[in-house]
């Protein structure tokens, strides 16, 4: 049972990191606000899902519940690795096609600001 404290420490500290990564990689204030709200909202559905995958008839080992969570954590890890690789590749493509973000003037940034993460100065946070 003491291992559960290590699991909780790893999981709960990851939530703010995920919200920050999500918010930093969405351009435009409206899109960013909606993206963060969706991130938190769908994350909160975990409590509802847990009530259905941790059934009393599976006690005390809860193989189906633990198996479901291991599968979801594995899927999440794979998607995070994929998105990290994609964002690095996209940043490289943007670096080759456009000038460096710090070389843009405030006027150029203002002109493209409405394009959000499609703006030529936008780079993903990896």
How far apart, in whole angstroms, are the C-alpha atoms of residue 28 and residue 118? 9
Q: Is residue 11 scored above 80 in pLDDT?
A: no
| pLDDT for the residue numbered 89 | 98
| pLDDT for the residue numbered 125 | 93
Q: What is residue 114's DSSP assignment?
A: G
pLDDT, tens digit, 9 for 90 and up, residues 109-122:
999 988 988 999 99
| pLDDT for the residue numbered 1 | 61
Confidence of residue 44 (pLDDT cuts 50, 70, 90): confident
CB atoms within 10 A of CB 122: 21
Q: Quickly list DSSP for 42-80.
A: HHHTHHHHHHHHS-GGGTTT-HHHHHHHHHHHHHHHHHH
Domain ranges of the chain: 3-118
How far apart, in whole angstroms, are the C-alpha atoms of residue 36 and residue 26? 9
């Amino acid at each position: 049972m003491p291992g559960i404290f290590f699991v909780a420490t790893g999981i709960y500290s990851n939530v703010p990191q995920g919200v920050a990564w999500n918010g930093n990689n969405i351009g435009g204030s409206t899109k960013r606000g909606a993206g963060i709200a969706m991130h938190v909202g769908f994350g909160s559905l975990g409590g509802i899902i847990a009530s259905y995958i941790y059934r009393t008839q599976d006690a005390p080992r809860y193989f189906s519940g633990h198996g479901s969570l291991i599968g979801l954590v594995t899927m999440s890890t794979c998607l995070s690795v994929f998105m990290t690789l994609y964002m690095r590749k996209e940043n490289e493509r943007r670096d080759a096609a456009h000038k460096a973000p710090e070389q843009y003037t405030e006027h150029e940034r203002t002109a493209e600001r409405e394009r959000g993460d499609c703006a030529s100065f936008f780079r993903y946070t990896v």
